[in-house]
Amino acid sequence: MSAVVKGHYGAWASLALLMAPYTQADEQLLGAGYLKSYGLWQDAVAPVSAEQWQWQNSLRLMLDYFPGARWSLQLHYELQPVYRDKPTPEVADGSPFSTLNNSDNRYRIDDIQNDDDREEDHWLLLHNLDRLNLRYSTEHGDLTVGRQVVSFGSARFINPTDIFVPFALQTLNQEYRVGIDAIRYQAALGDFAQLDVGAVIGENAEKANSGAFLRGRDNWRGKDVQGVLIALDEAWLVGGGVETALGDFGVWLETAFVDAEPAHYWRHSIGSDYALDARWVLMLEYHYNGAGASQPEDYAGLLRLQPYQRAGVYLLGQHYLIPALNWQASPLLNVTASGFFNLQDDSCFISLAAERSWSENLYSDVGVYWSAGDSLEPDPASATLQFGSEFGTYPVSLYASLRWYF
């Protein structure tokens, strides 16, 4: 266990004592959180990963302090003890073998350092100061300074305009987006219109790790419309999206153009959802990824490029079809299924999950991640491994979880 973690235990214990609601005049203190535990089994992926199982745990403490009508302070801290029967560094590095939420600190000025992930250690302790921000609110808008969520998009599955630390497909705990450090002003321009402008301040406050954004959104003739402009150190993005209804169908379109020397590319997502009845909802989305490659042998080289290092791109191919189905089996049981199909290399990633509510605060989940496609193959020219397909490298995974909220 790192000295940094030990040094923070007293502070977090004090925070836990403050979790009960407190109110005095205009002053208010609210506490909440959750405790989650996941049991995970993953099949072997030859020749790079053996069969393994993990026990992932997560404690999140959340504190909101309102000293007056206009000011608020938000603090979220998450501690994740993880046990692996076969310690491998890939568990926490955002690879296809990792199902952990990747708290990448590229868009954080500074961060608490986690323990080194050594191969001989079965236990891995991850901790994440995920929110720490001060907000000032008026009738004209909100000014927020500090660690917060900055996310954009209209699509349901892949958001071309959302480039600040999006979730990977296989992440188990997707309840809260990773917080990044930013100064942000959200101005209310009307009943539905909003102007959102801010600066993201990255690692060591260096220009290479920082950026700025501008987003406008409104409702025009029943359609939710938004436009986004993002400037990074060596790249910029311009995009937008629209959500509307066509009869009984919900429809969305999101698009973005990125200029990141030497790469220039478009990304698009278009889709629809339809309620078959009160219990069944069907969704379908097509995604085009202009940053990707058309041949699997070119996938490995993409991972070193700017779109994958700094612009939130993680899919390696170009054309995807994403169907999904949601079944509300009962008021207490919900079942979801979705698939990501790479239309060029004939690989797919399938997710099936069921959620059961036991009480207002207690839930359980079971699920499976299943993939199909050619796995890693030796490259005779370089004597290294290369992708046979995109999703063929993803291990089959089974998991069960228990979640308690307080």
Q: Give residue 257's Cα distance to chain centre.
A: 21
Contacts of residue 188, defined as CB under 8 A and 6 or more positions apart, other chains included, come to: 139, 140, 141, 194
The string of pLDDT tens digits covering residues 181-199 is 999 999 999 889 999 999 9
What is the helix (H) or strand (E) element at residue 232, kind and residue range? Answer: strand 223-232
> What whole-number distance in Å separates Cα of residue 304 and Cα of residue 110?
24
pLDDT at 265 over 60: yes
pLDDT at residue 119, as a whole number: 59
- Smallest Cα–Cα separation from 323: which of 156, 102, 195? 156
- Smallest Cα–Cα separation from 342: which of 307, 294, 303? 294
Contacts of residue 184, defined as CB under 8 A and 6 or more positions apart, other chains included, come to: 143, 144, 145, 148, 150, 196, 197, 198, 199
- Hey, how many other C-beta atoms are within 10 angstroms of the C-beta on 213? 22
The string of pLDDT tens digits covering residues 155-166 is 999 999 999 988
> What whole-number distance in Å separates Cα of residue 196 and Cα of residue 185?
6
pLDDT at 89 over 60: no
Beta bridge partners of 255: 240, 268
pLDDT at residue 95, as a whole number: 62
pLDDT at 111 over 50: yes
pLDDT at 353 over 90: yes
pLDDT at residue 21, as a whole number: 60
CA 316 vs CA 63, 145, 270, 384: distances in Å: 38, 34, 19, 19
Residue 377 near residue 388 (C-beta atoms within 8 A): yes
The parent domain of residue 343 ranges over: 3-405
The DSSP secondary structure of 168-207, one letter per residue, reads PTT-S--SSPPPEEEEEEEEE-SSS-EEEEEEE--GGG-G
CATH number for the domain harbouring residue 96: 2.40.160.10
What average pLDDT does this structure show over 243-253? 98
The answer to which of 77-86, 89-98, 161-170, 256-265 has the lowest mean pLDDT is 89-98
pLDDT at residue 2, as a whole number: 42
What average pLDDT does this structure show over 98-109? 82
The string of pLDDT tens digits covering residues 305-342 is 989 988 899 999 999 999 999 999 999 999 999 999 99
> What whole-number distance in Å separates Cα of residue 42 and Cα of residue 122?
16
pLDDT at 134 over 70: yes
Residue-wise over 9-44: b if at least 16 C-beta within 10 A, else e?
eeeeeebeeebeeeeeeeeebbbebbebbbebbbee
pLDDT at residue 13, as a whole number: 43
Residue 354 near residue 366 (C-beta atoms within 8 A): yes
What average pLDDT does this structure show over 46-71? 93
What is the helix (H) or strand (E) element at residue 348, kind and residue range? Answer: strand 347-357
pLDDT at residue 118, as a whole number: 59
> What whole-number distance in Å separates Cα of residue 211 and Cα of residue 258?
14
pLDDT at residue 120, as a whole number: 64
Structurally, the chain folds into a number of domains equal to: 1
> What whole-number distance in Å separates Cα of residue 397 and Cα of residue 371?
9
pLDDT at residue 3, as a whole number: 41
pLDDT at residue 22, as a whole number: 61
The string of pLDDT tens digits covering residues 276-306 is 999 999 999 999 999 999 999 999 999 889 8
* pLDDT tier for residue 150 given thresholds of 50, 70 and 90: very high
